[in-house]
Amino acid sequence: MAARIRRLAGDPYRLILVGLILAYIWVFAGLAFQQHLGMRTHKADLGQIDQAVWNSSRGRFLESVKDDFISTRLTDHVEPIFVLISPVLWLWDDVRALLLLQVVAAALGAWFVYELALLQLSPILSPEERGQIWHWEPLQQRIRPMALAFALAYLLAPQLQSAVLTEFHAIPLAVPLILWAFWAVERQRWGQFALAALLVTGVKEEAALLGAGLGLWALWRVALRRIQGTRRDEPDASPSPQHALLLPLAVTGLSLLWFWLATFVIVPAHAQQVYDVAESSYFQRYGALGNSPADIFKSFFTQPGLVWQIATEPARVRYLRDLLAPFGFLSLLAPEILLLSLPVLLANLLSAYPAQYYGEFHYSAPLVPYVAVSAVYGGARLWRGLARRARGRSESFQHLPAASGPVMALAALASNSRSALRPLLAAGLSLWLLAWSVTSYAALGRGPLGGRYDPTPIRAHHRLLARFVAQIPPDARVSATAAVHPHVSHRRYITQFPLGLKPGQADWALLDVTTNTDMAPGDLKAQVEALLAQDWGVVDGADGFLLLRRGAPDKTIPDAFYDFARVPADEAQSLPGPRVAFGPLTFLGLELEDWPRWRQTKVTTFWRAEPDFAPGTVRPWLELRTPSGERITTWAESTPPALVWYPPERWRPGEVLRITTLWLFLPRSWGGAVGAVHGPDPLAPGDRLAVQAEDRPALLDESGTLALVAAYARQPGDTLAPLPVKLAEIPLGQAISRATGLALREAGGRFGLSPDASVEVRAWLPRDPVPGGRELDLWLQWQGETGLLGRYVPFVHLRQAGENRSQNDGPPRYFLSLTVDASPLADWRQLTLPAQPGPGPWQVVLGLYDPASGERLPLLDPAGQPQGSELLVGSVQLAPPLVPDQACALIPSTCASQVR
C-alpha cells in the first residue's frame, strides 16, 4: 500500500486524475441529488428500484410491490448486483446513497481508462529491456498526458453523464466492472478478471452477454500473447498455460448459461404470475422485427433490408456518431473491441423505443467503456503506426535483443531524445482527443457549460416535504403520489396513489397535488374526498402536501394546504405585470417554469380579488394561442390544480391568487391572453368582462375582453425568448429580430383601398432555410388607413412554380384577432410547408381582396399607379425536414416546438 501511495505521489498526472474524478462525483452527485430533492424522480424507476434494494438489505431478496401487492423485481429484470450493493443502505439509509453510488461507480472507471492507456501506449518490454533504453522516463512523461486525455474524454462522455442522471438503474454499475476486466486481462490478473467479468454478468440479464464477450476477449489476448511471445513486467502474475485458457472459457460458459437462465427461465416464471405472460415484456420493443428473441434473430436473415433500413435511419446514425465522437472516432481503429458490445449496441440501435437510441438514458451506459477501450487501443495503434511510418527503422538500436516489429519501432522512438517527432505526435493525439471530447460535451454534456445542462430548481415547496415524511412511522404501509414515492420507499409496502387503499393495505397516504401525480387534478381530488368520506382522516397539510391516515379523526383539510394557490401580500408587490383590470378581478402578472430538455412548460398567472369581488360571480381565464390566433389550450381543457382545490367560489376579497397549469407541450411560438368570465361560456365574448384599465400598453382582441399579456418563441438550445406584446411605433420585424436573434429580409408596398385612400404594408421573412413540414413565419405591419381594412381580406400565398402550395387568408391577427382601427397594425401569418419540398423557387406573395366581389385591390407604385395586384415578399429556401430529437421521438406533442 505504501508503495502505491508513493507511486501516486510521484505521478502528477495521477493526482490530476484523482482531482478530476472527485470533481465529477461532486458535480454529478449534486445534480442527481437536486433532481431528487426537486421532485423530478418518480416511482418509475427510482422508487421501485430503491425499494427492491432496500428490501434486499433487510434480507428480502429483491422484493418489491407491483401495483398493490408484494411481488419481486424478477418479474422484469434479473439484477443480482442489487443484492451486492444493498449494504450501502446500512451506512446511509437514504435513497440518495444509491444515486451517489451510481455516480462514484461511473467516475472510478476513469482510473482504469488511464491505466489501460498507459499500458497500451507504453512499449511491451521487460524491465531488463527497459534498462537498455536510454530515455524510457522521458517517453513515459509524454505518454501520461495522452493517457490523461483518454480518461478526461471518458469523464466528458455525455452518454455516461446522462446515465447517472436518469434516476437509478443497474446497468451503469457495469461500467467500471467492464473496464476493470479489460485492465485485468492486460495485466494478466486472472483472478481479478474472473471476478470483474462475473460481476458484469450479475448486473442484468443482457449484461451477461457482455460478460461472455469479455471471456472471449481474454481468450484472444492469451492466444495472441502465445503467438507473439510477448511478456509483461510481472512474471509472477502469469498463470499456467492451462489456467490461462480455462478461466476465460469458464467465464464465457457461465455467462451464457446465466443469460439463458435469467432471460428464458427466471423472468418468464415470475412474469407469468404478475403479467399473465411467460416472457420478458422488453422483447415487445422491436416492432416489425418481431416480438420474441427467435423472431428478432430470424429477421437478420429473412429481412436484412428492413434491418438495414432501421439501423440507418438518421436518428440512429446520429446515435452512433455521438457515441464515437467524444473519443475522436479512434474507436474505429480497434473494431474488434466494439464488436464485443454488439449485443447491447444492436439492442439499442434496432429498438422501436427511442429512449434506447437517443443516448440520454441509461441504456447507453455499458457501451461507453467499450468505446473508451477501443479508442485507447486504436489510439495506441495510431501512435505506433505514425511513429513507424515517419521514422522507419532506426539502425542505432540494432544492439538490442531481437524483438517484434512494434517493439523495435517503439524502442527506436523512445531513444532518440533529439527528435521532435515524439512530442509532436503526443501533443497532436492529445489535442485531437480533447478537441472532440470538449466539442461533444459542449453539444450534449449534462454538466455545467454542457449543451444539455439541466439543473433542477429546488424551491421552498420541495423542502417542505421532509416535514411530512418525518411524521410517517418507518414500518407504516404507505400510498404516495408518483413524485413523492421515492422519498418514502424505504419500507416493505409502498404503492403509488391511488393504489393500495383497501383495508389491510396502506394505512397512510402522502400526496403532493402540485407535482406529477399521473392523475387528472379533478380525479385526485375526488379520490381524496372519497377517502375522507370513509375511515380516513387528515394528519397534516400545507402548500399542496396532504398527509392522510386511516382512522385519523380530523376530516377537515387545513387552510395552510391551500397556500400553493395563494401569494403572501409582501410577495404580491414584486409580481411582474402587466396589470390588467377587469373590475372585481385584476391580473397581476405571468411567470413560466420551463423544462428545456423536454420542451414542457408550466404557465403561472397571478390575480387579485378586489374589494368588490363576490365569490362565485366571476372567475379568471387564460387562453394560450398560436401567432395566427388559434387556441392551443384553455383552462377549460386542462384545469389547473389551484382551480380544482381552491376555486373562485372560495376566494376572499383582497387575496392574491397563484394559478399554475400542468406541464404543457406548446408550439414554437405562442402567446397568453387573459380575461375574466362572468357567464357560462368563457369562449363567448359576451360572457367575459371588458378590460377596464392597464398599467402599460397591451394588445386587446377586437371584443376588448381579452388582453395579450405575454408571448414567447422557442430558441435553439430550447430556451424561451419573450416576444413583443407592446407594438407601437417600432417596426414589428425589428422587434421580432431583437427578441429572437433571427435574420430577416424585408419587403414593402402600398395597396389602393379607394381613389383617395391607401394602406402600406411592411413584410419580413426569415433569411435562413426553413425545414420542410414546419410553419413558415411571415410578419406584417399595416400602416395608413388601417380602419378601412375591415372591408377587405388580406391573403398570403406560398407558391412553387406558379402554383399555390399553402395559403393563409383572413383579417390581421397577432395571437388575437385585432381591431383594425390601430395604426400601425401587427399581423403574424404562418404557412405550413410540405414535408418533402420539391425544387424551387418557393415564393411568398400577399395582397388584398374584396370578399363580396372577389376582386383584388391594386398594388401601387411610388407614383401611385397600379402595378399588379400582389406584392412579392421574397423567395424562401426550404431545407430537409428536421430529424426528430429525443423529446419529439418520445413525446410527439413536442415535435411542433423542435427548432433544430
Per-residue pLDDT, 88: 97
Exposed/middle/buried for residue 780 (C-beta within 10 Å: 0-12, 13-18, 19+): buried
Please state the rounded mean pLDDT for residues 276-283: 81
Alpha-carbon torsion (558, 564, 570, 572), positive or negative:
negative
Residue the block writes with cell 513507424: 388
The pLDDT assigned to 229 comes to 63
pLDDT tens digits for range 788-826:
788 899 999 999 888 899 999 998 899 988 876 677 888
C-alpha R_g of the chain: 33
Band of pLDDT at residue 348, cut at 50, 70 and 90 = very high
Query: For residue 124, what pLDDT band results from cuts at 50, 70 and 90?
Result: very low
**pLDDT value at position 616?**
87
DSSP readout, 739-785? HH---EEEEEEEEEEETTEEEEEEEEEESS-EETTSEEEEEEEEEES
- In this prediction, residues 587-616 reach a mean pLDDT of 94
| Measured distance CA(779)–CA(744) in Å, rounded | 10
Residues belonging to the chain: 900
pTM for this prediction: 0.90
pLDDT at res. 728: 59
Confidence of residue 16 (pLDDT cuts 50, 70, 90): very high
In this prediction, residues 505-522 reach a mean pLDDT of: 95
- Helix H or strand E segment including 498: none
Helix (H) or strand (E) holding 13: helix 12-37
Sign of the C-alpha dihedral computed for residues 304, 308, 309 and 311 taken in this order:
positive
Helical (H) or strand (E) element with 849? strand 842-849
Whether cis (ω within 30° of 0) applies to the bond prior to 811 is no
* pLDDT tens profile 191-221: 999 999 999 999 999 999 999 999 999 999 9
Tell me the average pLDDT across 322-326.
97
Instruction: Look at residue 8 and tell me whether its pLDDT is greater than 80.
Output: no
- pLDDT, mean of residues 416-441: 80
- Give yes or no for residue 134 having a pLDDT over 70: no
Is residue 275 predicted with pLDDT exceeding 90? no
Find the mean pLDDT for residues 342-355: 94
Phi, psi angles (nearest 5°) of residue 303: -135, 55
The residues, ordered by sequence, that sit 6+ positions from 40 with a Cβ below 8 Å of its Cβ are 456, 483
Amino acid at 447: G
What pLDDT score was predicted for residue 112? 97
- Tell me, letter by letter, the H, E, C secondary structure of 220-267: HHHHHHHHHCCCCCCHHHCCCHHHHHHHHHHHHHHHHHHHHHHHHHHH
Name the more confident of 829 and 572. 829
Question: Across residues 463-487, what is the average pLDDT?
Answer: 97
What would the pLDDT profile of 620-633 be if each residue is shown by its tens digit? 999 999 998 999 99
Flag whether pLDDT at 139 surpasses 60. no
Q: Which of 461, 688, 723 is nearest to 590 (CA)?
A: 723
Q: What is the pLDDT of residues 363-400, one digit of tens each?
A: 999 999 999 999 999 999 988 887 666 555 444 444 44
Mean pLDDT computed over every residue of the chain: 89
Q: Is the pLDDT of residue 137 over 60?
A: no
**Residue 647 backbone class (left: φ over 0; alpha: ψ -120 to 50; beta: rest):** beta
Strand pairing report for 478-480 and 494-496: parallel
Of 2-11, 23-32, 644-653, the one with minimum mean pLDDT is 2-11
Query: What is the per-residue pLDDT across 832-856, written as a single tens digit (0 to 9) for each?
Result: 998 887 787 899 999 999 998 999 9
Q: How confident is the model at residue 492 (pLDDT cuts 50, 70, 90)?
A: very high
For residues 67-91, average pLDDT: 95
Strands 775-784 and 878-879: unpaired
- % residues pLDDT > 90 (the chain): 70
Q: What is the pLDDT of residue 392?
A: 55
The pLDDT-based confidence of 7 (bands split at 50, 70, 90) is low
Residue 859, CA atoms < 13 Å, CB-side half-sphere:
14
Under a CB-based contact definition with an 8 Å cutoff, are residues 82 and 53 in contact?
A: yes
Residue 375, CA distances (Å) to 320, 403, 426, 508, 568 in order: 14, 26, 15, 53, 58
pLDDT at 183: 97
What pLDDT sits at residue 242? 60
* CA–CA separation, 479 and 508 (whole Å): 6
Crossing angle (nearest 10°) for helices 190-201 and 174-187: 160
